[in-house]
């Protein structure tokens, strides 16, 4: 497919209840996605707690590209492109650390951590060169919501608040689970490489149809009631926030149970320190509500998945290759809760974890299936007849319906059609 084809092309590939298989397998489409989505819209990059001190830095990414997320000498958070203005070398090859400047390994040009070129080796060879034009590239727009740092490679466009829309409320709900109202990303990341297109992962994050089948083994080993949340009789709902953001809202089920921390498979008696801190912070009644509802399950387009107890960052590398960066969520001021969050994360998405390995096997089988061309389309009509609206006007459906995928594709189409 030619990416210069008119925008009507996308109508031929994306219909309300089905999408064409080439969308996951055509490398020209992948190139177009980089241009129209990854290098244009807001992309989640990292969290302020990963660089708490001046001069802290960490390597992150926007799509396949590495960027340096840095807190500069003045304390401002910046996203620098990790490309030397001399010959293009990778300036920073260390994954994280604390540095007031970066020196390129190739010819030793040195840059301040706000991106300015400070000096070059053997400067007498550079008479008349304008240093002010030879700094590191900056990601044009950086914005932070509740500690979540987003970047956009487009100098202009909707604000981060406009992009997040109703999904911002889910981030608020997440942060409320800390007695100090903040999450922290301090547990370290695992990086899982998957031989599948990034959109299979994006869609699966709020696919409430598969857990009872794909994750049956972990639910039975862990004696977990999670499977019931995704059964045909569940009162949980899927929600389309618009702008590609989707959620499976499990609160109706947790409210029926009416037990503090049942969402986390535990009881107040097992986390006494956390419960007393929450009550001190919010008052007994509000703390009880927060601890019954638990944390959200939301996929923020295109790459941030908040999965109740984990945070996933989806990074596309090629049309059929994606990396999932995953860490345990940590809640400020909640050490007993945090220890359990790390343990559960190891069991579910760690190197020998059950949960992510099962999902990954499904993604890779999906991708292999696309090599066959009959049928050409993927079917997304489940629950179309029973879509409704919540009190805020967002489209909702049953937790097992394809409503989140339809929402993702609607937004995807609008981005790909844009000039
Ligand atoms: Fe960086 Fe030459 S490529 S100094
Ligand atoms: Fe899954």
Q: From atom 3 of ligand 1, which residue's Cα is the shortest distance away?
A: 87
353 CA → ligand 2 middle, Å: 12
The pLDDT tens digits of the residues spanning 306-319 come to 999 999 999 999 99
Residue 86 Cβ inside 6 Å of ligand 1? The answer reads: yes
Segment 256-273 shows an average pLDDT of 96
Q: Does domain 43-152 have CATH number 2.102.10.10?
A: yes
Distance CA 246, CA 407 (A): 7
3-state secondary structure of 185: coil
323 CA → ligand 1 middle, Å: 28
Does residue 8 or residue 108 have the better pLDDT? Answer: 108
pLDDT at 384 over 90: yes
The pLDDT tens digits of the residues spanning 12-69 come to 999 999 999 999 999 999 999 999 999 999 999 999 999 999 999 999 999 999 999 9
Segment 135-157 shows an average pLDDT of 98
Least confident of 229-243, 339-353, 364-378: 339-353
pLDDT at 116 over 50: yes
pLDDT at 271 over 60: yes
3-state secondary structure of 103: strand
Phi, psi of 249 (to 5 degrees): -95, 105
Tell me what percent of the chain is helix, strand and coil, each rounded to the nearest 5: 35, 25, 40
pLDDT at 96 over 70: yes
322 CA → ligand 1 middle, Å: 29
Best probe residue, ligand 1, of 80, 82, 101, 109 (max atoms within 8 Å of C-beta):
109
Least confident of 32-46, 48-62, 108-122, 337-351: 337-351
What is residue 6's predicted lDDT score, i.e. its pLDDT?
A: 63
User: Which numeric CATH code is attached to 166-417?
Assistant: 3.90.380.10
120 CA → ligand 1 middle, Å: 9
Q: Is the alpha carbon torsion for 290, 293, 297, 300 positive or negative?
A: negative
Res. 386 pLDDT band, cuts 50 70 90: very high
- Does residue 58 contact residue 96 with C-beta atoms inside 8 Å? yes
CA-only gyration radius of the chain, Å: 23
Mean pLDDT of the chain: 95
pLDDT at 94 over 50: yes
What is residue 2's predicted lDDT score, i.e. its pLDDT?
A: 46
- Sole residue written with tokens 């029973």: 386
What is residue 165's predicted lDDT score, i.e. its pLDDT?
A: 97
Distance CA 33, CA 411 (A): 12
What is residue 5's predicted lDDT score, i.e. its pLDDT?
A: 54
Distance CA 50, CA 59 (A): 10
Q: DSSP label at 138? A: B
Segment 99-118 shows an average pLDDT of 98
Residue 84 Cβ inside 6 Å of ligand 1? The answer reads: yes
The pLDDT tens digits of the residues spanning 214-223 come to 998 888 887 7
Joined together, the tokens standing for residue 263 give 């969402």
3-state secondary structure of 344: helix
Domain boundaries of the chain, sorted by first residue: 43-152, 166-417
Distance CA 286, CA 216 (A): 34
- Does residue 295 contact residue 331 with C-beta atoms inside 8 Å? no
The pTM score is 0.96
**Quick one: which of 257, 284, 265, 283 has its CA closest to 224?**
265
């Amino acid at each position: 497919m030619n990416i210069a084809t008119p925008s009507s092309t996308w109508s031929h590939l994306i219909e309300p209840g089905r999408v064409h298989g080439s969308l996951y397998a055509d490398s020209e489409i992948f190139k177009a996605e980089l241009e129209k989505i990854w290098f244009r819209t807001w992309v989640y990059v990292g969290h302020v707690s990963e660089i708490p001190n001046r001069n802290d830095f960490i390597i992150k990414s926007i799509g396949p590209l590495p960027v340096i997320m840095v807190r500069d000498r003045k304390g401002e958070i910046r996203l620098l492109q990790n490309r030397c203005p001399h010959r293009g070398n990778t300036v920073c090859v260390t994954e994280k650390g604390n540095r007031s400047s970066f020196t390129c390994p190739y010819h030793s040009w040195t840059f301040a951590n706000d991106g300015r070129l400070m000096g070059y080796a053997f400067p007498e060879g550079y008479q008349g060169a304008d240093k002010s034009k030879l700094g590191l590239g900056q990601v044009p727009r950086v914005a932070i919501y509740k500690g979540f740092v987003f970047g956009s490679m487009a100098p202009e466009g909707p604000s981060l608040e406009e992009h997040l829309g109703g999904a911002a409320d889910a981030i608020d709900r997440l942060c409320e689970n800390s007695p100090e109202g903040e999450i922290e990303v301090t547990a370290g990341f695992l990086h899982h490489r998957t031989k599948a297109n990034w959109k299979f992962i994006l869609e699966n994050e709020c696919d409430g149809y598969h857990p009872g089948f794909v994750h049956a083994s972990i639910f039975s080993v862990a004696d977990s009631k999670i499977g019931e949340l995704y059964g045909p009789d569940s009162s949980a709902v899927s929600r389309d926030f618009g702008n590609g953001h989707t959620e499976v809202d499990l609160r109706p089920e947790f409210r029926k149970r009416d037990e503090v921390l049942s969402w986390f498979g535990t009881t107040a008696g097992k986390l006494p320190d956390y419960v007393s801190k929450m009550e001190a912070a919010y008052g007994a009644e509000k703390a009880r509500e927060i601890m019954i509802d638990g944390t959200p399950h939301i996929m923020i387009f295109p790459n941030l998945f908040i999965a109740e107890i984990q945070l996933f960052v989806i990074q596309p590398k090629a049309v059929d290759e994606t990396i999932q960066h995953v860490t345990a969520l940590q809640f400020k001021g909640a050490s007993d809760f945090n220890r359990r969050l790390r343990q559960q994360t190891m069991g579910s998405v760690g190197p020998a974890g059950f949960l992510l390995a099962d999902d990954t096997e499904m993604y890779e089988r999906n991708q292999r299936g696309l090599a066959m061309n009959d049928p050409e389309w993927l079917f997304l009509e489940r629950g179309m007849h029973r879509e409704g609206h919540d009190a805020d006007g967002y489209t909702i459906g049953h937790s097992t319906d394809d409503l989140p995928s339809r929402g993702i594709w609607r937004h995807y189409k609008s981005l790909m059609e844009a000039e």
